[in-house]
C-alpha cells in the first residue's frame, strides 16, 4: 500500500547534472521509495531519469531527462500518489457508511 512517506520523500529527491546526464542525489531516498511502493529501485530511478521513445521504424530508444524534466517527473509522480491517497481516504471513510445505509434501508423497507 502506498504510504504518505512516499510524498514526503519525493520532496527529498534532488537531481544533479554533469552536463551529459542527470543523476539522483541520495540513493537512500530511492531505496526507501522503492520499498514503500514495492518496486525495484532500478525501476524507480529509471522512471525518474529516462523516457522511452518509439521511432517510426519500430525502434525503441531511451532518452535521458534533463534536470528540469526529471524534476517535473518527480512532481508529477508525487501528484499521482497524492491523488491516489485521497481516493483511498475517501473510499475508506465514505463507502462503509454508504453500504451500512443501504443495508439499513433494505432491511426496513
Q: Is the Cβ–Cβ distance between 5 and 28 less than 8 Å? A: no
Superfamily grouping for domain 4-108: Myosin VI head, motor domain, U50 subdomain (1.20.120.720)
| Number of neighbouring beta carbons within 10 Å of residue 60 | 8
Check the CA dihedral 32-2-51-11 and report its sign.
Answer: negative
pLDDT tens track, the chain, 109 positions: 456 556 556 667 889 998 888 999 878 888 888 887 788 999 989 989 999 888 888 899 999 999 999 989 888 888 887 788 788 778 777 766 655 555 555 554 3
Amino acid at each position: 500500500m502506498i504510504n504518505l512517506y512516499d510524498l514526503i520523500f519525493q520532496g527529498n529527491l534532488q537531481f544533479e547534472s554533469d552536463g551529459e546526464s542527470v543523476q539522483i542525489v541520495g540513493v537512500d531516498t530511492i531505496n526507501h521509495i522503492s520499498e514503500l511502493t514495492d518496486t525495484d529501485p532500478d525501476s524507480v530511478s529509471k522512471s525518474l531519469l529516462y523516457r522511452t521513445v518509439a521511432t517510426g521504424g519500430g525502434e525503441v530508444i531511451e532518452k535521458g531527462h534533463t534536470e528540469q524534466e526529471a524534476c517535473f517527473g518527480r512532481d508529477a509522480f508525487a501528484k499521482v500518489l497524492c491523488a491516489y491517497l485521497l481516493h483511498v481516504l475517501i473510499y475508506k471513510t465514505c463507502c462503509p457508511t454508504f453500504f451500512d445505509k443501504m443495508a439499513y434501508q433494505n432491511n426496513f423497507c
